[in-house]
Chain A
Amino acid sequence: MASTTQVLVPDIGGFKDVDVIDVLVKAGQEIDKETPMITIETEKAAMDVPAPGAGRIAELKVKKGDKVSEGSLILLLESTAASAAEPDKPAAPKDAAAEVAAVPGGAPAKTEAAAAPAPAKREKTSTESASNDTAKDSTRPQAAAPEVPAPPPAADDQAAAAAPPPRAAGPIDDKAFSTAYASPSVR
């Protein structure tokens, strides 16, 4: 059931022909998602490129001293049945993009939508706008702030002076009261 995927160098921020200064994995090795595969070095920074998914390395395509750019082939990854079957959650950026045919190693939010099972994704190929759109699409519950509950319709500027509508008498909640007492904006 194993399928082989190409793992590519992801978007590394505009750098081209950067040095591969270390290869951290071997052919035949079983790796997990996020396992560092190679270390590349730009003029200013060295960074590890993590694996986009789990599997067995079928073939290494780079060696120390090579120069790579975005899209260069790093290795061929044989995904095991278990890892291939596990679909990624579409919303979380770090989880996206694991089992498409050609995967930019580690690039989290970019998807080749045709093969992706993620339902919420819009088909976009332009890298720049894709990221923006993904941001909009991946609305999460935390992001959607609930509206402040509307005040009762009767409340107008004179209402507070009038006697409040009769309700079942409740004891004063001391804890909440102390919060109210301390709130600076009231005073």
Chain B
Amino acid sequence: MTQQSPFEDIDPTETQEWLESIESVMRAQGAQRAHFLLEKLVDFTRRSGAYLPFKPNTAYLNTISRAQQPDYPGDRSLERRNEAYMRWNALAMVVQANAASSEYGGHIASYASAATLYEVGFNHFWRARSAAHPGDMIYMQGHSSPGIYARAYLEGRLDEAQLQRFRQEVRGGGLSSYPHPWLMPDFWQYPTVSMGLGPMMAIFQARFVRYLENRGMVPATDRKVWAFLGDGEMDEPESMGALTMPVREKLDNLVFVINCNLQRLDGPVRGNGKIIQELEAAFLGAGWNVIKVLWGSRWDPLLERDHQGLLKRLMEECVDGEYQNFKSKGGAYTREHFFGKYPELKEMVANMSDDEIWRLNRGGHDPVKVYAAYAAAVANKGSPTVILAKTVKGFGLGKTAEGLNVAHQQKKLGEEDLKAVRDRFNIPVSDEEIAGLSFRKPAPDSEEILYLQERRSALGGYLPERNSAAPPLPAPPLESFSALLEGTEEREISTTMALVRILSTLVRDKNLGKHVVPIIPDEARTFGMEGMFRQVGIYSSVGQLYTPQDADQLMFYREDRQGQILEEGINEAGSLCSWIAAATAYSNHGVSMIPFYIYYSMFGFQRVGDFMWAAGDSQARGFLIGGTAGRTTLAGEGLQHQDGHSQLVMTAIPNCVAYDPTYAYELAVIIQDGLRRMYQEQESVFYYITCMNENYAHPAMPSGVEQGILRGMYLLKSGGKGKVRVTLFGSGTILREVLAAAELLEKDYGVPADVFSVTSFSELRRNALDAERWNLLHPTEAARVPYVREALERSTGPFIAATDYMKTVPDQIRQWVPGRYAVLGTDGFGRSDSRAELRRFFEVNRHYIVIATLKCLADEGKIDVRTIPTAMKAFGIDPEKPNPLTV
């Protein structure tokens, strides 16, 4: 930035005149008029051709001046005492664990910098869920977890034994490293520790609150979503990636608190600049209400004496790297290198001791300043608020951590440092006890604890507390999808269309209909879902202010305040955040929602996998639909779109249940059972189902196959009589190639084939591994039989599997297949061509299935090996064709 310094003034008298005139406008006609005139002046100057650089920054001062700040309502001395105990116990928790073994790890500097930011919220703002209020939703910063545990300990919710088991969870009663609802389901609500996920999830949660309110699913309240973030965390693209949506949606129920301790793991966040100013510019530019909390009350007298604006100027000139130094190097250094830059300022602090200078506090450590900011955030209307709080990393931790580059990794403190912390916060621990690092808390009937309890009870109870009680929703009977179970006769449809029919049926259901939340990342037309625009409407907080271009058509683009579809635009991460908000509504809103997020399967896990992992942690319940899936089925789109691995990667998430159905009835059975498991039985799993866009006729459901569909495989078609026979597996669209291959085998080669539809290789594997594990641990008892074995009991090998996914997918069940097993799959980069060409290229078409079968039979000596070259010639297969993996 090579702008002219705002501090160089070629004509101060003229400047003064302008300032006075605008001051008189403010006095006479108010600030709005002043604003109007200034805008006019800027506009006039621009229109006259002058270049006025855009500068979305305010002075490096607190947004709320001392004159504007409200009185502090709490008892600061009791709050300070309690906060001191929390600081001590948080520290003791980490240091104790690491004294036992350094492998436990943990962080002490983050909470040390954020303690006051949390305590002001806990004591004065955050309401718990109670009969009177649904509760505020607090996304705590993951690395601050020891402090949150320390508070729960003072509240009497956690005991000493639990604190001693911080990061030692395996034998029970331990505390998880970070907020993990999966591990502490009654405590943590939101998994935030993977940097950048918290802010985005909070934004979409705040919008989802409005969605539920506008649709009348929950009463409208003033509940807020607070997200605690770190300044280093804001470098994650996800953190800043969705800033404009909450402005557009006027989400004044959203508050970001960014703990700007100026440090990230390795060093300063912006050593050569100012992270707070950078963030302010971005948030102001997006339209947020920005509140800076930079300087504590001890600075107020100095700032009030700063008539020449020199201190303000110096504050602005100083970069973060220097600010960090002032905190780590002490008062004398600060006097010399900060105030010393201007003789007038050095003079200003001449009467202050070095210690007093060092104690000039930052805003984020001053409850009065923090309270003022929170009160302003809560009162703000029409826009989201971000509070930029300046703090010190490792505040109060002494010479080994405070303001040091290594602070984040600091897990061990020496005795001298511990004494310093004790003295600084006045913790009643004797010199003898200090090495033992015992936890400390005042008696339950002490003034401190009574105050702490009174504050929480006034705010409705304790936080965080995860509640998973929501009324169950009865799953509709399978018959309600009869249209899909009956088959399509000659009509050819895709499973994507079948899905849309299921969705349309569901939204009409009297019990479930209004709970369904279709979520789309601008791909509704891709998936043939445009009919639903009209049927249930697209959610819009302002309704529809225009006549849609296609208003005269059946499927017009209907936006509505009560619209049910969340149309997120080209935004997979945001869509997934909406899905998580809906999929955890049972816990956060006491009402179960049934989200269906339908997306290009390729842009699922490999694009937003970390959010999906967090969804699993959150115990999300809902459906993820990988649309137009399959490497050779989404024919023309080519390398970046053709998905041949989502069926593999999704099952890395332990509570994700994945299916790759072929027929409409399979899809109906899977979704009906998913509804039963997740909403009727309230099991914390979620579903990943791939759907394809290839049109073909769907048969009626054979009788008695429901359980097989759900468990992962069932016999779809038995081959004719014959001594030499084989068993084929297929899933998704490739099952149809398998059926065609079976026909060829029987007709042209006299080899009858039984064909299994395998709806889920991963479910088969999970079931088999579980049975084996049980057998391992119970060697003397009757062994459990994996379902694969059971299903293949009467089948004859060899076995040949083909899918539109990587070979690893069918390979998952290899060890339980009772015989020779060959797998075909689509390993390699996709490319554009017709489905037939692609299936030939990837060697998964009927001809390759036949060849693979004949090879297995020849290897077993059941047919003459010379049959194979002949067959290859007949099919036009070039034996020298390159491996698709390599081209």
Q: Is the C-beta of B54 less than 8 angstroms from some C-beta in chain A?
A: yes
B552 and A46 contacting across the interface, CB-CB below 8 Å: no
A-B pair number, CB within 8 angstroms: 177
With a cutoff of 8 Å between Cβ atoms, the chain A residues found around residue B508 in the complex are 36
B554 neighbours in A (Cβ, 8 Å)? 10-13, 47, 49, 105-107
B residues near A (Cβ < 8 Å) are 17-18, 21-22, 24-32, 34-42, 44, 54-58, 63, 68, 281, 284-285, 289-290, 483, 488, 491, 493-494, 497, 500-501, 504, 508, 528-532, 534-535, 545-556, 558, 695
Describe B's contact surface by its main secondary structure.
helix
A window 99-130: CB within 8 A of B: 105-110, 127, 130
Q: Nearest residue in A to B547 (C-beta to C-beta)?
A: A135
Judging by beta carbons under 8 Å apart, are B58 and A164 in contact? no
| Pair B29/A170 contact, Cβ less than 8 Å | yes
CB-CB under 8 A from B555, the residues of chain A are: 12-13, 45, 47
| Chain A contacts for B497, CB-based, 8 A | 41, 44-46
Closest Cβ of chain B to A171, distance in Å, is: 8
Q: Please name 5 pairs of A and B residues whose Cβ atoms are closer than 8 Å in the assembled complex, sorted by A.
A: A46-B504, A94-B558, A107-B554, A140-B545, A142-B545
Name the one of A127, A143, A184 contacting B546, with C-beta atoms under 8 angstroms: A143
**Are A12 and B552 also in contact (CB < 8 A) when A39-B504, A41-B491 are?**
no
CB-based contact B552/A108 at 8 Å: yes
Q: Determine whether the beta carbon of A173 is less than 8 Å from that of B21.
A: no
Q: B528 is contacted by which of A44, A140, A176 (Cβ under 8 Å)?
A: A44
- CB pair B44 A157 closer than 8 Å: yes
A169-B27 Cα distance, complex, nearest whole Å: 6
In the bound assembly, the distance between CA atoms of A108 and B549 in angstroms comes to 12
B284–A172 contact, CB under 8 A?
no
Instruction: State A183–B534 Cα separation when bound (angstroms).
Output: 40
The count of residues in chain A whose C-beta lies closer than 8 Å to any C-beta of chain B is: 64
Q: In the complex, which residues of chain B have a beta carbon less than 8 angstroms from the beta carbon of A140?
A: 545
Q: In the bound complex, how far is the Cα of B555 from the Cα of A58, in angstroms?
A: 26
Interchain CB contact under 8 A, A109 and B552:
yes
Pairwise interchain contact B21-A180, C-beta atoms closer than 8 A: no
Bound: A181/B38 CA distance, A? 11
- Which residues of B sit under 8 angstroms from A187, Cβ to Cβ? 55-58
Measured CA separation A142–B532 after assembly (Å) = 26
- Chain A residues lying within 8 Å of B285, measured Cβ to Cβ, are 184
Q: Which A residues are closer than 8 A to B by beta carbons?
A: 10-13, 19, 21-22, 36, 39, 41, 43-50, 93-94, 105-110, 127, 130-131, 134-135, 138, 140, 142-143, 151, 155, 157, 160-164, 166-174, 176-187
Known: A41-B493, A160-B21. A107 touches B552 (CB 8 A): yes
Min Cβ gap A106→B in Å is 5
Complex: chain A residue closest to B32, CB-CB: A176
Q: What residues of B have a CB within 8 angstroms of the CB of A93 in the complex? A: 547-548, 551, 556
Closest 10 pairs (CB-CB, A-B): A47-B531, A45-B528, A177-B31, A180-B35, A184-B56, A135-B547, A109-B551, A93-B551, A131-B552, A44-B528
User: Which residues of B sit under 8 angstroms from A36, Cβ to Cβ?
Assistant: 504, 508, 535
B39 touches A160 (CB 8 A): no
Q: How far is the CA of A28 from the CA of B620 in the complex (A)?
A: 44
| CB-contact partner of A107 in B18, B483, B553, under 8 A | B553
State whether A179 touches B35 (Cβ < 8 A). yes
Q: Within the complex, which residue of A41, A110, A164 is in contact with B21, where a contact is CB–CB below 8 Å?
A: A164
Quick one: closest B residue to A128, CB to CB?
Answer: B552
> What B residues does A44 contact at CB under 8 A?
494, 497, 528
Minimum CB distance partner of B55 in chain A: A187
Looking at the assembled complex, report how far the CB atom of A46 sits from the nearest CB atom of chain B, in whole angstroms.
5
Give the distance in Å from the alpha carbon of A10 to the alpha carbon of B63 in the complex: 58
Q: How far is the CA of A181 from the CA of B665 in the complex (A)?
A: 62
* Alpha-carbon distance A174/B65, docked complex (angstroms): 11
> A105 — which chain B residues lie within 8 A by C-beta?
554
Of chain A, the residue at the smallest CB distance from B18 is A161
Cβ contact of A186, chosen from B25, B39, B547, B549, cutoff 8 A: B39
Quote the shortest CB–CB distance from B558 to chain A (angstroms).
Answer: 7
Q: Which residues of B contact A183 (CB under 8 A)?
A: 35, 39
A42 to chain B: closest residue by CB:
B528
Contact B535 A160, beta carbon cutoff 8 Å: no
